[in-house]
């Protein structure tokens, strides 16, 4: 019952936090879904459009050391509530005030800061209630909810796009406003520290870096996010370009819907990949998936002129590979981290991961511009290949540092 002081059961805790995460993310993919509309309306270059996408992750990076690091000291429920207010303000800022590059940068940064205070603090709440293999499997479902939240955001934006982009952003603000109270009143306040160990400071990452197994998974996650968020930021625009080359053509809503369906496959890949990692050697599973996704990235962008169904299948296969190591990397980090420094480890995990998420969309857009623009198949092919750098580097990081 909402408001109870007793901890929820493990199953209920997972369901509550997954639901809250999906609700908190209704504004996550609104800008990428509307990218082509806003790019044309505001006369943005590809680099400027990519910069707005990337600024989401800049806001995430700026807020992560504070909001996630504070979970070693402050009840994560309160941080979660504050963060949902930031997300809602960012979406409403788009709806009411955004008129071009600068205002969009500010609003997108707020939405990113909001995610910083929900995603990892929500994971912190989860790990406080679960242990062992149950914890690892629950982490897989929780990280999978990120993909469901992304798909829900894309579907919502695509469905509402006919009403105008301002209304789309305004309605996207409602999800975070529901998620914050849900978490606050579903979990009891956290008790005092049970250990005499001093909690890590906000920027005390030295002990995390010295923990080679944990840091290996953190670096692997950083490069994974380069590939994942670069892909997510530009996927609706790529589908719109590909549909424009086909005989049937396609609308922005159809492109956003295709991107949403691709993202819906992510949770299954993430859960399956983590289950395989639990049953077999985690490092070997991660290495195999990362290498395969790096190879696939070099091929997908050149597929744009193919029939839409074939393009969808190829992109979906690539996305399955990208997502296959997501939960395995995060669960590996949590398992390897010092419990008294877990908040600091999660903060660094998110900081580096979403830092790469900030850079990748910008690099993707720059490659598009330098290679001839977003009307050229060759440019899209090279831009997608730039994402593959993440897959290959991630494999190297886990291989070199992931040993205990």
DSSP annotation string for 75-124: -HHHHHHHHHHHHHHHHHHHHHH--SHHHHHHHHHHHHHHHHTTHHHHHH
Q: Residue 195: its pLDDT value, please?
A: 45
Indicate if the pLDDT at residue 6 is higher than 80: no
CA of residue 170 relative to chain centroid, distance:
21
Q: What CA–CA distance (Å, rounded) separates 131 from 191?
A: 18
Listed residue (286, 300, 87, 278) closest to 173, CA to CA = 87
Inform me whether the pLDDT recorded for 402 exceeds 60: no
User: Which residue, 179, 159, 148, 277, is CA-closest to 220?
Assistant: 277
Give 335-385 pLDDT, tens digit per residue. 888 877 777 888 888 888 878 877 888 899 899 999 988 889 999 999 999
Mean pLDDT of 98-115: 94
pLDDT single digits (tens) 133-157: 677 778 888 888 887 898 899 889 9
Rounded Cα distance between 348 and 392, Å, is: 21
Distances in whole angstroms, Cα of residue 300 to Cα of each of 78, 79, 102, 231, 237: 42, 39, 32, 11, 14
Buried b (16+ CB within 10 A) or exposed e, 364-385: bbbbbbebeebeebebbbbbbb
Q: How many CB atoms lie within 10 A of CB 75?
A: 18
Residue 50: other Cβ atoms inside 10 A: 29
Query: What pLDDT, on the 0 to 100 scale, is given for residue 5?
Result: 62
Interval 21-41 mean pLDDT: 92
Rounded distance, CA 145 to CA 22, Å?
6
* Residue ranges of domains in the chain, CATH in brackets: 10-188+205-401 (1.20.1250.20)
Contacts of 132 (CB under 8 A, 6+ apart): none
List pLDDT tens digits, range 291-328: 888 889 999 999 989 998 999 999 999 999 998 888 88
Rounded to 5 degrees, φ, ψ at 29 are -110, 15
What pLDDT digit, counting tens, does each position of 34-46 carry? 988 899 999 998 8
2 pLDDT more than 50: no
Closest CA to 49 of 27, 28, 29, 34: 34
Confidence band, pLDDT 50/70/90 cuts, at residue 249: low
Closest CA to 68 of 170, 201, 184, 213: 201
Give the span between the Cα atoms of 118 and 1, in whole angstroms. Answer: 22
Give me the numbers of helices (H) and strands (E) for the chain, helices first please: 18, 0
> Residue 85 — very low, low, confident or very high, per pLDDT cuts 50/70/90?
very high
């Amino acid at each position: 019952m909402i408001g109870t002081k007793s901890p929820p059961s493990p199953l209920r805790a997972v369901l509550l936090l997954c639901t809250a995460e999906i609700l908190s993310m209704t504004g996550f993919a609104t800008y990428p879904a509307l990218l082509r509309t806003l790019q044309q309306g505001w006369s943005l270059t590809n680099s400027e459009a990519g910069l707005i996408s990337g600024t989401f992750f800049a806001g995430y990076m700026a807020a992560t050391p504070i909001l996630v690091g504070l979970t070693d000291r402050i009840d994560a429920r309160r941080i979660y509530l504050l963060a949902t207010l930031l997300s809602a303000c960012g979406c409403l800022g788009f709806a009411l005030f955004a008129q071009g590059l600068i205002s969009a940068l500010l609003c997108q940064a707020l939405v990113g800061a909001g995610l910083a205070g929900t995603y990892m603090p929500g994971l912190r709440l989860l790990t406080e209630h679960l242990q062992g293999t149950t914890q690892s499997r629950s982490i897989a479902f929780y990280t999978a909810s990120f993909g469901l939240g992304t798909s829900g955001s894309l579907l919502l934006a695509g469905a509402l796009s006919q009403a105008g982009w301002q209304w789309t952003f305004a309605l996207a603000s409602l999800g975070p406003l529901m998620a914050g109270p849900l978490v606050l009143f579903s979990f009891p306040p956290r008790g005092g520290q049970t250990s005499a160990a001093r909690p890590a400071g906000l920027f005390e990452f030295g002990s995390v870096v010295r923990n080679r197994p944990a840091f290996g998974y953190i670096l692997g996650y950083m490069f994974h996010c380069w590939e994942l968020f670069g892909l997510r930021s530009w996927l609706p625009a790529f589908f719109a370009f590909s549909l424009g080359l086909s005989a049937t053509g396609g609308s922005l809503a159809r492109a956003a819907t295709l991107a949403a369906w691709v993202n819906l496959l992510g949770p299954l890949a993430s859960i399956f990949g983590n289950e395989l990692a639990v049953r077999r050697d985690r490092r070997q599973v991660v290495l195999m998936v990362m290498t395969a996704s790096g190879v696939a990235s070099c091929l997908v962008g050149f597929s744009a002129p193919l029939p839409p169904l074939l393009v969808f299948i190829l992109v979906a296969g690539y996305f399955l590979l990208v997502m296959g190591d997501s939960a395995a990397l995060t669960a590996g980090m949590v398992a390897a981290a010092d419990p008294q420094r877990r908040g600091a480890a999660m903060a660094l995990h998110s900081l580096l991961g979403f830092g790469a998420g900030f850079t990748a969309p910008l690099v993707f857009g720059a490659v598009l511009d330098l290679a001839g623009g977003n009307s050229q198949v060759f440019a899209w092919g090279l831009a997608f290949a730039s994402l593959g750098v993440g897959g290959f580097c991630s494999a190297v990081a886990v291989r070199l540092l992931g040993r205990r």
